[in-house]
Amino acid sequence: MQYDPSINIIDLILRKRDGGALTEFEIATLVYGYTVGHIPDYQVSAFLMAAFLKGMSDEEMVALTDAMLNSGRVLDLSDIPGRKVDKHSTGGVGDKVSIPLAPIVAACGVPVPMISGRGLGHTGGTLDKLESIPGFSVDMDIAGYRKQLADIGLVMIGQTDDIAPADRKMYALRDVTGTVEFVPFIAASILSKKLAEGIDALVLDVKHGSGAFMQRESDARFLAETLVRVSEKFGKPTVALLTDMDQPLGCYAGNWPEIEESLEVLQGEGPADLVEVTMALAAEMLLSGGRTDNLDEARALAIDAVTSGRAMDRFEQMVSHQGGSVSSLRHPAVRKEGVQELLIHAPSDAADYVARIDARLVGRAMVELGAGRRKKEDPVDPLAGVRLLKRQGERVAAGAPIARLEASTADRFDTSVSLILEAFSFSPEATEPGSRLTDRYANGLWMNP
């Protein structure tokens, strides 16, 4: 990485504070110096806030991404046959899509090297969900990562110490300086990790709504455009789907509960909205991976991978390779033995139909149960979660069960009950749920999917 210790970091902070731009070399010096401990937290904090307030150009954003990417190891997977394609989601309540998606795509012949993250706040993390499978390990060295990808075309692990180490340090600082939501920082953080995986193409699921990081659709569109534009500066064909996260995706929110719902999708079942998003993203990944030249054929390939059982077989192979219990996948009820449960009933004044279920409130209830984190170091209860027994548009009577809480212990139920009751709204008329697919961005154009 480029680095010049003679550069005065205070001058860079002042220039950014006054609305000026930094060069690629200056940004590289800032990032490298901070990563190795030559530049203190307080100076990088000042830079983060100055950039947040004054903005960053595309050139600065690309330079920041490049510096964070090259702060560690950048993998070369060119010796493994096939176009390697990954997917990234901006996260949301009940977003377990990666878990059925990756084996579906791998079963169709497109290698999927996936490095994922943990959950924070109301949005769950893929690693926490996978670790709820007894024995499953998300820790793997690069040699093991490469070997598993070559052997079965699928690997799902956590970020290693030598993948984009600058991102870990800078994200922690963003978290305590109020600069997390700045789009250039989000783009650099996401893409530095994804580009380091050795992928050939990337598919993005950018969410908007109550349960999403970007609640306003306009903000999600801007983020999607930025991510695609920056990713393609690095020569990686990228497409983004804009999806609705105003209500929870699927019926289950929590770590093991979402594994169970993922298994349903892999068995050709599962909630319609979860299947819709999973298959749309699978089609995009297969198209990007060169398996076909149109989305309709790609979707048919994905469906066949599920109905033939090949996708489930590939998922079980991955779980076995990474030390997980395949038996728990085949007999999920055994995993729940001893779990405490509490039914939540519709209030006495509930009208005839469920009008809406606020995803953010469901996510907060999940955190209260112990399925999510308030702080990064918080432990999670792998069995805790919320199971929605009624969905938007479904008929409901006063006093009927609408949700079920689950946890290893019952001492955290009380707050979650009030949050779930607040999340549900009712109407005398049925409101049919619409498509979760809002829009598609590729080649600089928005096109309805």
What is the CA 400 to chain-centroid distance, rounded? Answer: 33
Contact 183, 135 (CB under 8 A): no
- Tokens at residue 252, please? 């289950």
Instruction: Mention every residue, 6+ apart, whose C-beta is less than 8 A from residue 12.
Output: 22, 26, 30, 47
Contact 65, 27 (CB under 8 A): no
Instruction: Mention every residue, 6+ apart, whose C-beta is less than 8 A from residue 86.
Output: 112, 113, 114, 115, 194, 197, 199, 202, 203
CB hemisphere CA count around 140 (13 angstroms): 24
Instruction: Mention every residue, 6+ apart, whose C-beta is less than 8 A from residue 309.
Output: none
Helix axes 272-288, 295-307, angle to 10 degrees: 120
In angstroms, rounded to a whole number, what is the distance separating the alpha carbons of residues 360 and 383?
Answer: 20
Q: Enumerate the active-site residues.
A: 88, 167, 174, 189, 193
Within 10 angstroms of residue 5's Cβ, the number of other Cβ atoms is: 9
Contact 117, 130 (CB under 8 A): no
Q: Pairing relation of β-strands 385-388 and 401-407?
A: antiparallel
Q: What is the DSSP string of 25-64?
A: HHHHHHHHHHHTTSS-HHHHHHHHHHHHHH---HHHHHHH
- CA angle centred on 73, ends 69 and 77, rounded to 5°: 100
In angstroms, rounded to a whole number, what is the distance separating the alpha carbons of residues 145 and 114?
Answer: 10
- Tokens at residue 103, please? 């084996």
What is the CA 129 to chain-centroid distance, rounded? Answer: 11
